[in-house]
Amino acid sequence: MHEVADPDRLQRANVKSVQQYIDERPMWPDGTHLPSVPMTGMQWRIWALAAAGKFFEGFVVFMTGVALPLISREFGIGAAQNGLISAASLMGILVGAVGLGGMSDYFGRKRMFIVEMVIFCAFLVLLVMCTNFVSLVICLFGLGVALGCDYPTAHMIISESIPSTSRGKLVLAAFGFQALGALGGTAVGFLVLSSVPNLDAWRWMYGTAIIPALAVTIGRFYITESPSWLHIRGAVDRAEAAATRLLVRTPQYPSSIALSREIDNAATGHGGQGSFFALFAKRNLRATILASVPWFLQDLGTYGIGIFTPTILGAAFGAKQDHVRSITDLILNDILAAKGAALITMLLIVGIIFAVILADKVGRIWLQVIGFIGCAAGLLVASFSDGFEGSTRTVIIFAGFMLFNFMTNLGPNAQTYLLAGEVFPTAIRGTGAGFAAAVGKIGAVATAFLFPILLTGIGTGPLLYILVGTSILGAVVTWIFRIETNGVSLDEIGH
């Protein structure tokens, strides 16, 4: 007797996951597959809108370093209040990452992708109109909340929509716009200071981002929801429709999409669908440590150096006015510091370019370990400047900071972001990545608040020695808890 084929069983056998459809290489009529998976228009739109969010983060956070001397003079505030201003946006990022970022596991990637930009635009407009210290801190905090939400959401909306083989380079290429934003922030600061040499210049600096931010907000309404998120939430029909919209090509491939009606328990977090406590379940604890602890350690150095680079470099320039006697002296010093900051920030861009090229070849773990060691070396070189004066001191500081900025974006600054959005199952990916970003920003907030105080109290050298030690510790923790995700499908990482 011949066995009668079961149509339902045959259909189940042909069913694929969302990621398998995304990773499937189109095939010519003769059966030959294309060498790689071409990106669709929708995939590129998602990538571009996510990259814009990272640009705004670098723009706002790093431009604060240029704006800070003007804000301090206008509102007549001291060192401790300066620390609060610098820490406000970072504290907001911490709250936004763990609070709003985790909501993307419940309300969807697209919805939170839009909400974060609405919040960003609202507080950006309010910031330009601030009239006192308290309102300034509140607005910077609000901006930080929006940017914090973007940490997990932007990563997931890219990584859950693109082929596994190019996930590393595309996520990092978007992340690299943070460095472009940092350069843009210092460049805009310099141009505004040159064109509007008065205390109100800082308002114009932040105001230049309003119209571009509104355009990005509108654009995010026209993308598709993450099919993978819809699928693990049980909305199979919507997931199939979203995947079909995501993969529109000419000629069309795949011709049709059919997803399983059975939800894979491995993708739901191994401890409750979307549960925060699932991060600390035995099967996820290694991922939680790897994603969060190295991020904390690298942010201690990256944000301390990044935010206060203009201040540190300003102290190294012989041409600056040692005693600020007027607003003209203040503007001159700020312009000189902005020029130095822009030069050093260029190395952030070079570093991220190398990270994009190497992430899918060398792997995330090796780049993070090597990057941490390189950061330690750069900070150590910068610490030697304490024994010199004049131009020699300037050269040593520049050399150390340039090496640090290159190695941090090649390694930990880029790879911690990449790993945090990859090592968790789909249902808790937003919560996990948001938690990791929040832990990282605890280090950033502490550094931003304490850095100016410690700089005055113990000096540049001892402070840099401490950061050398944290960088070495970051390399050790990365290696001990390593999980390599290079080229691995998100479905497999979920298991």
- What is the model's pLDDT at position 379? 87
CB 300 within 8 A of CB 447: yes
- What is the model's pLDDT at position 52? 94
- What is the model's pLDDT at position 450? 76
Listed in sequence order, the residues at least 6 apart from 374 whose beta carbon sits closer than 8 Å to its beta carbon are 403, 404, 406, 407, 408, 410, 411
CB 452 within 8 A of CB 83: yes
Q: Domains in the chain, please, with CATH?
A: 41-223+268-484 (1.20.1250.20)
- What is the model's pLDDT at position 20? 87
- What is the model's pLDDT at position 222? 95
Listed in sequence order, the residues at least 6 apart from 8 whose beta carbon sits closer than 8 Å to its beta carbon are none
- What is the model's pLDDT at position 145? 92
% of the chain beyond a pLDDT of 90: 32
Q: How far apart are CA 321 and CA 333, in angstroms?
A: 7
Residue spans of alpha helices (H) in 359-427:
364-383, 390-410, 412-420
- What is the model's pLDDT at position 165? 86
Q: How far apart are CA 299 and CA 445, in angstroms?
A: 9
Element (H, E) at 8: helix 7-14
Q: State whether residue 2 is helix, strand or coil.
A: coil
Q: How far apart are CA 248 and CA 243, in angstroms?
A: 9
- What is the model's pLDDT at position 335? 56
> Is this prediction's pTM over 0.85?
no
- What is the model's pLDDT at position 2? 41
- What is the model's pLDDT at position 329? 45
Ranges in the chain, pLDDT < 50: 1-13, 269-273, 317-329
- What is the model's pLDDT at position 5? 44
Q: Which of 169, 159, 166, 124 is nearest to 142 (CA)?
A: 124
Q: 128 is written with which tokens?
A: 């330009």
- What is the model's pLDDT at position 400? 84
